[in-house]
Amino acid sequence: MNLIDCHTHSTNSPDGNSSAEDMLKTAIKHKLSAYALTDHCEVNRWFSIEHYGAEPNEYDTYDFGADFEKSMKENTVLKEKYKDKINFLCGIELGQAPLDLGLADSIAADKRLDFVIGSIHQVVSYDDFAFIDYSKNDVDTLLKMYYDNMYSLCKWNKFDILGHITYPLRYIEGDKGIKVDMSKYEEIIRCCFRTLIGNGKGIEINTSGLRQAYGKAFPDLYWVKMFKEMGGEVLSLGSDAHCSEDLGKGISDGAEIALAAGFKYLCFFKERKPNFIKI
Ligand SMILES: [Zn+2]
Ligand SMILES: [Zn+2]
């Protein structure tokens, strides 16, 4: 089975725990057909906290512009150093592009990037879904905003893979045990899929949920199958590891989900172009 891990973080992400080089050495041990580092780049926190005039709290970090530069420089050096050992891709996980499209345009245009994951972690006026108090906020209102933002992201189209499309469920269902009726969002998710497919873009199976309380991938088989049935061909796979121990975790289960949904190929992006590899 050919496996790829195209969603991972190093210490060039504020919540990463292993150096980029340690991640890369681990990926070599796993004999992956393609491996991407995709450090966080939250568009709405690119500048310093002073720039936004925001109140500090214990979880929000700023200055993602500086993290981005560190990540690009280090990945470029590592790519050359390990070029004979692994198919290493210099990626980024671009968060909240719809909150500053002009800035997102310029970040996504950086020529050092092989690959851009477009993600939504928070919606305007709210914290990241990881930090929301769900006893004080209406889940449906939040999820409606989440998928509206995701649709805006899809229409923006300057990324390659749409990240973890059921991300809020990690916290709402997984951590808080609040059951969500996802059928309410099926129509807008279908709109997202239609736009992605029309633009030759894709989704990922993010396997982090398999090792967390949620217990399923983001998204699970239901949505991957729907994407395939609608004509989707571009499917990525990522562990969303934030430390070398988690790198590659669940990706063979993710590949099984891909096969069960009818996919025969996985896709990774090199120099922003899709490459298909038989599972
Ligand atoms: Zn993410
Ligand atoms: Zn991530």
Pairing of strands 273-278, 202-206: unpaired
Which residue is associated with the tokens 């049935």? 229
pLDDT of residue 140: 97
For residue 162, the ligand closest to its alpha carbon is 1
Ligand nearest to the CA of 91: 2
**C-alpha 253 – ligand 1 centre gap (Å):** 19
CA–centroid distance, residue 203 to ligand 1 (Å): 13
The tokens for 67 are 């993290």
Ligand 1 centroid to Cα of residue 164, in Å, is 7
Give the distance (Å) from ligand 2 centre to CA of residue 239.
8
CA 7 to centroid of ligand 1, rounded, Å: 9
Distance 215 CA to ligand 2 centre (A): 17
Looking at the DSSP bridge assignments, the partners of residue 118 are 94, 162
User: From the CA of 254, how far away is ligand 2's center (Å)?
Assistant: 16
What is the reported pLDDT for 202?
A: 98
Element (H, E) at 167: none
Instruction: Give me the helices (H) in 61-185, please.
Output: 64-81, 101-108, 139-156, 168-169
- 69's CB contacts (< 8 A; 6+ apart) are none
Ligand 1 centroid, distance to 153 Cα (angstroms): 14
In this predicted structure, what is the pLDDT of residue 49? 97
- Ligand that comes closest to the CA of residue 168: 1
Q: From ligand 1's centre to the CA of 26, what distance in Å?
A: 21
Q: What is the pLDDT at residue 214? A: 98
What is the per-residue pLDDT for 262? 98
Superfamily of domain 4-278 in the CATH hierarchy: Metal-dependent hydrolases (3.20.20.140)
If you measure from the C-alpha of residue 237 to the centroid of ligand 2, how many angstroms do you get, rounded to a whole number? Answer: 12
Q: How many helices (H) and strands (E) does the chain have?
A: 9, 9
- In whole angstroms, how large is the CA radius of gyration of the chain? 17
Contacts 24+ apart (CB under 8 A), 139-145: 139/172, 139/178, 139/180, 140/184, 142/168, 143/168, 143/180, 143/184, 143/185, 144/185
Please report the pLDDT score of residue 40 as a whole number. 98
- What whole-number distance in Å separates Cα of residue 102 and Cα of residue 145? 21
Ligand 2 center from residue 240 Cα (angstroms): 5
- Long-range (24+ apart) CB contacts under 8 A made by 214-218 are 214/169, 214/170, 214/173, 214/174, 215/174, 217/250, 217/253, 217/254, 217/257, 218/164, 218/165, 218/166, 218/167, 218/169, 218/170
Q: Give the model's pLDDT for residue 185.
A: 98
Mark the residues whose beta carbon lies below 5 A from ion ligand 1: 119
Q: Are strands 34-42 and 4-5 parallel, antiparallel or unpaired?
A: parallel
| Per-position pLDDT tens, the chain of length 279 | 999 999 999 999 999 999 999 999 999 999 999 999 999 999 999 999 999 999 999 999 999 999 999 999 999 999 999 999 999 999 999 999 999 999 999 999 999 999 999 999 999 999 999 999 999 999 999 999 999 999 999 999 999 999 999 999 999 999 999 999 999 999 999 999 999 999 999 999 999 999 999 999 999 999 999 999 999 999 999 999 999 999 999 999 999 999 999 999 999 999 999 999 999
**What is the chain's length?**
279
Tokens coding 207: 């396997």
Residue 164: partners with Cβ closer than 8 Å, 6 or more residues away: 7, 119, 170, 204, 206, 208, 218, 219, 240
Say how many Å lie between the CA of residue 259 and the centre of ligand 2: 23
Integer Cα distance of 12 and 18 in angstroms? 9
* Closest ligand relative to 15 C-alpha: 2
Among the bound ligands, the one closest to the CA of 10: 2
Helix (H) or strand (E) holding 124: none
Helix (H) or strand (E) holding 39: strand 34-42
What is the CA(90)–ligand 1 centre distance, in A? 16
Residue 66 Cα to ligand 2 midpoint, Å, equals 18
CA of 231 relative to ligand 1 center, distance in Å: 25
